[in-house]
Amino acid sequence: MSVNQQDVRTDECGAVPAAAIREQLDRLVESPPFNHSRRFPTFLRFVVEHALSGNSISLKERTIGIEVFGRDADYDTASDPIVRVTAAEIRKRIAQYYAVPEHQQELRLSLPAGCYIPEFHFPQNGHPSATHQASLSEAAQSSRSSLRRAILFISALALLTAGVAAGWFLHAPRPTSFDFFWAPVLQSNDPVLFCVADQNQYTAIELRDANDPAKQTVLKDNLTAVVFDDLQPVVKIAGILESHGKKYDLRGESATTLGELRNGTTIVVGAFDNVWALRLTRPLRYHFDNDPAMTQFRIVDSGSKPHVPWTVDRLEQMRTNSFKDYALIARFVDPTTGKLTIVAAGLARGGTIAAGEFLTDAANLVQLEQQARSAGGRPNMEFVVSTQIINGEPGMPKLEASYFW
């Protein structure tokens, strides 16, 4: 397949205009299989634009890992298969898109197995020059032939369905990387409690007049406020729980008691504004720390000395709004409560968002599953992720370190 900036040439139908390819790409990434993810559209746009610009030769696993996922130039592709896993998931989602009847005559964009160079072609009856008028006699013959094929197809389908049903009962589905992390929560009968950071400093609220919404009145009240960015991981994780019929409750850290933590699984969100996050992670190998002036926020590794901590400089953060943020994520049975505890907490707000994204993306959890197996399948784990903040917006999370016990 030869590529230039104007069109893409395929064996099936000649030149495909680059503009048509970009239009189809937009349809794909805005469709339901893609539009709830940041990772998949970014990956797909990257490989398509490289193909259109004539750089298909650079679409290698390592290059994509560095450019799309922020991996280091010397990262080990064998132990970190994020590119391969993401590409496999994208192929599934592309197939889901084209399985919808109204999409079947659109320009086909595909990512062949074992390759990261996209291909483009019109469907057999969808290319603008592919028009054909059948005669009445041909149509009659086709109708009789189609009837015979339909009878054979229905018979074969009945046999196939029986075989699939038998195979389903004989071979249970293999657990996924997603199940690897979340199964202890989803399979437990214990209730789930979200313990989120809160602020109790507000004593007034502005309310609007129902008859004149432009009119506002300030009333005295005692409000408990939640940081908006902390809600993003809560919403993502709550979606997982709801999809599995798992009930949960939500409480601010100031209203959460030790007795409530002992009732079931706790998911703690937020770090320096959540006392439970600091208390529960303090005995762990990776835990939070700061300087007396509260200008340096850190995640430290007590099991490795000397250790350069993962740090956010608060002054730099306020000055540039572009910096590298870090988050601590943990899943462990707390010895004080005797219950499963999950922590997702960033040094700054972007780190907390990245923690939620990491925990709800199967492609990220693949790395943890592989490392957990190498560590002997130990049930407790914690790890540090990083994300690049640009103009206040977090990028994709990157695994920095992990520990299992």
What is the structure's pLDDT at 353? 94
- The reply to whether 211 and 333 lie within a common domain is yes
Domain co-membership, 107 together with 192? no
Q: Is the previous residue joined to 306 through a cis bond, with omega within 30 degrees of 0? A: yes
pLDDT digits (tens, 9 = 90+) for 158-184: 444 444 444 444 444 445 667 889 999
Per-residue pLDDT, 165: 45
Whether 149 maps to a domain, the answer reads: no
Which of 9-18, 189-198, 328-337, 372-381 has the weakest average pLDDT? 9-18
- The tens digit of pLDDT for each residue in 203-241 reads 677 788 888 888 888 777 666 677 788 888 999 899 888
State pLDDT tens for residues 54-92.
Answer: 888 889 999 999 999 888 888 888 878 889 889 988 998
Task: Identify the residue with better confidence: 211 or 257.
Answer: 257
Does one domain contain both 320 and 391? yes
112 and 190 share one domain: no
**Residue 160 forms part of a structural domain:** no
User: Which stretches does DSSP call E strand in 114-254?
Assistant: 119-121, 192-196, 199-208, 216-225, 248-252
Domain count for the chain: 2
Is 201 a residue whose pLDDT tops 70?
no
DSSP 73-128: TT--TTT--HHHHHHHHHHHHHHHHHHSGGGTTSPEEE--TT----EEE--TTTST
Residue 251 sits in the same domain as residue 388 = yes
Does 132 fall in a domain? no
CA pseudo-torsion sign 149, 155, 158, 159: negative
The tokens describing 277, both together, are: 């996050």
pLDDT (0 to 100) of residue 200: 66
Domain boundary among 121, 137, 162: 121
Torsion of CA 379, 381, 387, 393, to 10 degrees: 70
Pair (200, 344) in one structural domain: yes
Whether residue 130 is contained in a domain is answered as no
pLDDT at 339 over 90: yes
Sort residue 180 into left (φ over 0), alpha (ψ -120 to 50) or beta.
Answer: alpha
The whole-angstrom separation of Cα 185 and Cα 187 is 6
User: Radius of gyration (Cα) for the chain, nearest Å?
Assistant: 26
The residue ranking higher by pLDDT, 47 or 168, is 47
**207 and 111, same domain (yes or no):** no
Q: What is the pLDDT of residue 48?
A: 94
The answer to whether residue 32 is domain-embedded is yes
pLDDT, position 39: 86
Residues comprising the chain, all counted: 405
Q: Which of 88, 172, 122 has its CA nearest to residue 16?
A: 122
> How many whole angstroms separate alpha carbon 107 and alpha carbon 22?
10
Residue 390 reports pLDDT greater than 80: yes
More confident residue, 28 or 366: 28
Q: Give the residue with greater pLDDT, 109 vs 305.
A: 109
Report the C-alpha gap between 279 and 266 in whole angstroms: 13
CB-CB contact of 310 with 299 (8 Å): yes
Tell me how far apart the alpha carbons of residues 119 and 13 are, in angstroms, rounded to a whole number.
12
Measured at the alpha carbon of residue 17, what is the angle toward residues 15 and 20, in degrees to the nearest 5?
135
- For residue 57, is it within any domain? yes
Q: Is residue 172 part of a domain?
A: no
Domain boundary among the residues 98, 121, 144 is at 121
Looking at 104, 121, 138, the residue that finishes a domain is: 121
Question: Same domain for 194 and 280?
Answer: yes
Ramachandran region, residue 350 (left: φ > 0; alpha: ψ -120 to 50; beta: rest) = alpha
**Mean pLDDT of all residues in the chain?**
82
Domain range enclosing 204: 181-404
Give the pLDDT score at 8: 53
Q: Examine the pLDDT at 150 and tell me if it is beyond 90.
A: no
pLDDT of residue 358 exceeding 80: yes
**Shared domain check, 295 and 393:** yes
- Determine, yes or no, domain membership for 167: no
pLDDT at 228: 80
pLDDT category at 306 given cuts 50, 70, 90 is confident
Q: Are 69 and 82 in contact (CB under 8 A)?
A: yes
- Does residue 45 surpass a pLDDT of 90? yes
